[in-house]
Chain A
Amino acid sequence: MFEMPIINVELCNGCGLCLTVCECGALIITGSIVTIQETDDCGYCTECEAVCPTGAIQCPYEIIVEDTFEQTLQQGVE
């Protein structure tokens, strides 16, 4: 499952600015609020979050460690 931007419907004012910046068509207006559809095409560019005037869209990042540099060093020692 792809992680998608998160919409806070209580903050969304339905201005639609995020739709116009989204290049993958993941965002649609339903009624007067924006909803999101899961799509493989979403590259998580975060532009929808950047342009949202009410802070209704969030693109959170998971922060993980995958230290290839340390792994290379360890493999060298072994």
Chain B
Amino acid sequence: MAIDVELLKGIPYFAGLSAADLEAVSQRMFEQSIERGDMILLEDDPSEAIYFVVSGAVKVFKTSIEGKEQILCLLRVGESFNDVPILDGGPNLASAVAMTPIVLYGMTRSDIEELLRENPRIAMNVIRVLSKKVRHFVSMVEDLSFRDVTSRVAKLLLEYATDHGGPEEGTQRPRLTQQEMAAMVGTAREVVGRSLKVLEEEGAIRMDRHRIVVTNRKALQQMSGVT
């Protein structure tokens, strides 16, 4: 299927390119359609191409030996993935799965290298995209290593469970989204999701559909550092 040059304009790698440059890019692209739930990349496999999301959403994640998953990012239209392995020649850094039916545009290493040599504007765009990604991952490293997010989420749940233990008549119990919890403890939504899983595994809470049930307040206190 032909590559849609209009869609290329929305990809940061190709921002500000002339019509002729976009045409040159489109000549090197290939299109790939993937069903929801299908794996696109496997961590540590040899890298073959860089991908751009044209429709749908992609989850990029790492998996531990025990099978625990850490989401690195959710990607939507215009965003790229597998950039680093394609540029440094190493294996895939992470796995990627289609969260929805998706359409990707892809480009092989030799083609992207050729484009970078030919067009300094693309090279500058790539530097900007990679810099943004470095900022995202540095912030995530900070969250996961220096800030004990799980204990802060535990503290937040304790405060809510204690302050709002029972709704007064005619009032609704305050509710929080994962995004709001993330904003309240100063982290990303993905990290809150992981923290809730940890708290559930430790038996302090139970995720019961739209309820977070504190099943062991003492354990939650210990994990929050509140005595």
> Which residues of chain A have a CB within 8 Å of any CB of chain B?
2-3, 17, 20-21, 43-44, 46-47, 49-51, 53, 55, 58-70
Contact = CB atoms under 8 A, between A and B. Distances in A.
A63 B74 contact: no
Contacts of A53: 76
Interface string B32-44: 0000100000000
B171 interface: no
User: Chain B contact residues (Cβ within 8 angstroms of A): what range?
Assistant: 35 or more
A61 B212 contact: yes
Given A60-B176, A61-B212, A69 B74 contact: no
B215 A49 contact: no
Contacts, number: 98
A67 B217 contact: yes
A58 B177 contact: yes
B36 A68 contact: no
B77 to A, nearest CB: 8
Contacts of B189: 50
B36 A61 contact: no
Contact of A68 (B74, B100, B180, B215): B215
